[in-house]
Amino acid sequence: MTLQCIRCARQYDDAAIQCECGGLLEVRRSPPAVRREVFDSRRNSRRVIDQSGVWRFREGVLDIDEARIITHPEGATRLYERDGMLFKHEGENPTGSFKDRGMTVAITQAVRLGARAVACASTGNTSASLAAYAAQANLRAIVFIPAGKIAAGKLAQTLAYGALCLQVRGDFDDAMRLVLEASRRLGIYLVNSINPLRIEGQKTIIWELLQDLEWNAPDWIVVPAGNLGNTSAFGKALLEARDAGWIDRLPRLAAIQAHGANPFYRSFRDGFARRHRVDAETVATAIRIGDPVSYDKAVAAIRATNGIVGEVTDDELMAAKHDIDRMGIGCEPASATTLAGVRKLGLSGRIVCVLTGHVLKDPEVIVKNAPPDQIVEIDAEVSAVERILATAR
């Protein structure tokens, strides 16, 4: 395995995070010479690394002695069929988001490199995941979060797992800039998705999804787009799956942003002629990001899959969240950009929406938006119950 800059092609050893030219690094290796039947047979194994939906695909993830893998295990999430559509629920990961798939690889690598401390900037899910895996690996965890701007469930998790929380006065983009500089200067291993090892783990969302579908590629895979790590990982996973002969055609990617945090959408609308940056604002705090780090990789992913980028308003994504919740599935607001995007773009065919985070990640937004006749305070008397049931809903 080597790390190579996608801009200037300079190569690095496996401890590097970013190229000196400022470009993003990507893992380069020869295509895994594994038939997909090997992955299928591991689904029946009781071994922990086979039960992990990441390490089941280990030949395409990271070359490491199996005994050194730090896994919860993670992945192995469900694929739900509802209303003629498919929903891959990454909120079913151990810490309630897809981040665990990248984090198991990044923390395994951190320990291999002998790191003492790991850090990230986060809108909340990466920080919860980092904190959990760092606790498992006995590493010091430091997270940089935008003060007052992350959902309650995520902050609570991050504290519970024991990470030091630095609440940065500013937004996510400020926290990202700060952690990049701090990790470089202070010798802390950075595990944001700018770290190419994170991307290697997140590819398995796609591989597991293809496996769920018995390797019959869908027409569309729809993903929320924030810092653009997932969009990048999905593109890489699809190309590698095709090159390895696991699938015979590429699905199209649809990356969906919130209207108030839509720099990638703006660039797409310009034919990717230039990179946009915005001051981000959206109810979907997970993707409240104005200057996404993995921009260059995500552009390549959209181009390679004949993909598209869409945007939805907060009202549209909250309406979609309501519908996903009422299907009995549930997700956090950012995840619902997928269904909202399918509707807005009028996508048709076989569609998979990737739900990225669990419904309990953001309890405040649910309670705040519940209609007043759904949550009613009453005296402890049957007559009060009777009165409500006669009038309400």
Residues that bind ligand F0G (CB under 6 A): 97, 99, 122-126, 193, 224-231, 286-287, 332, 334-335, 356-357
Provide, rounded to whole angstroms, the least separation between the CB of residue 47 and ligand F0G: 29
Q: 70 vs 191, which CB is nearer to ligand F0G?
A: 191
Sheet holding 79-82, edge to edge: 79-82, 85-89, 351-355, 220-224, 252-258, 308-312
Q: 42 vs 130, which CB is nearer to ligand F0G?
A: 130
Q: 104 vs 231, which CB is nearer to ligand F0G?
A: 231
Q: 111 vs 194, which CB is nearer to ligand F0G?
A: 194
The residue to which tokens 């983009």 are assigned = 173
Contact 121, 380 (CB under 8 A): no
Provide, rounded to whole angstroms, the least separation between the CB of residue 77 and ligand F0G: 13
Task: Supply φ then ψ for residue 298, to 5 degrees.
Answer: -70, -35
Q: 210 vs 286, which CB is nearer to ligand F0G?
A: 286
Q: 226 vs 235, which CB is nearer to ligand F0G?
A: 226
Provide, rounded to whole angstroms, the least separation between the CB of residue 157 and ligand F0G: 11
Q: 228 vs 352, which CB is nearer to ligand F0G?
A: 228
Q: 58 vs 101, which CB is nearer to ligand F0G?
A: 101
Provide, rounded to whole angstroms, the least separation between the CB of residue 248 and ligand F0G: 27
Provide, rounded to whole angstroms, the least separation between the CB of residue 298 and ligand F0G: 8
Provide, rounded to whole angstroms, the least separation between the CB of residue 34 and ligand F0G: 26
- 21 burial level (CB within 10 Å; 0-12, 13-18, 19+): exposed
- 9 burial level (CB within 10 Å; 0-12, 13-18, 19+): exposed
Q: 4 vs 232, which CB is nearer to ligand F0G?
A: 232
Could you give the CA distance from residue 193 to residue 354 in angstroms, rounded to a whole number? Answer: 18
Provide, rounded to whole angstroms, the least separation between the CB of residue 287 and ligand F0G: 5
Provide, rounded to whole angstroms, the least separation between the CB of residue 73 and ligand F0G: 20
Provide, rounded to whole angstroms, the least separation between the CB of residue 200 and ligand F0G: 14
Length of the chain: 393
- 55 burial level (CB within 10 Å; 0-12, 13-18, 19+): buried
CA distances 200 to 55, 187, 205, Å, are: 11, 23, 10
